[in-house]
Amino acid sequence: MGRVTYQGMAGHFPTAAGRRQGDGEILAHGGLSFAQQLASHDLVDEYRLNVFPFVARSGRTLFAEVAKPAELELVSSAAFDGGQIALVCRRARRH
């Protein structure tokens, strides 16, 4: 996780139960800058994205720092009231 997110959650870690062992998967929590760094270094196997029905006139984008395009496969999607869509995409694997 990025510095800002870590600082916000750091007090919770020493008292957290059941967080000492994992199953080999890493779920990264953080802000846009952290996610951009992971994507730019090709370190993300799966993206879980929420798309909101909103048109922004400006702002930063998740994939702005990615130098080489990566093909993604849609694994699942779900639509919610209000128009939000949740997408799960994985890096396409060449067979």
Domain ranges of the chain: 3-91
The answer to whether 87 and 74 are in contact (CB under 8 A) is yes
Domain 3-91 class in CATH? alpha beta
Question: Within 13 Å and on the Cβ side, how many CA atoms surround 85?
Answer: 9
Tokens for 20?
A: 């000492």
User: Rounded to an integer, what distance in angstroms lies between the CA atom of residue 72 and that of residue 19?
Assistant: 30
91 burial level (CB within 10 Å; 0-12, 13-18, 19+): middle
39-48 confidence digits (pLDDT tens): 888 888 999 9
If you average pLDDT over each of 14-18, 19-23, 63-67, 80-84, which comes out highest?
A: 80-84
53-67 confidence digits (pLDDT tens): 988 888 888 888 888
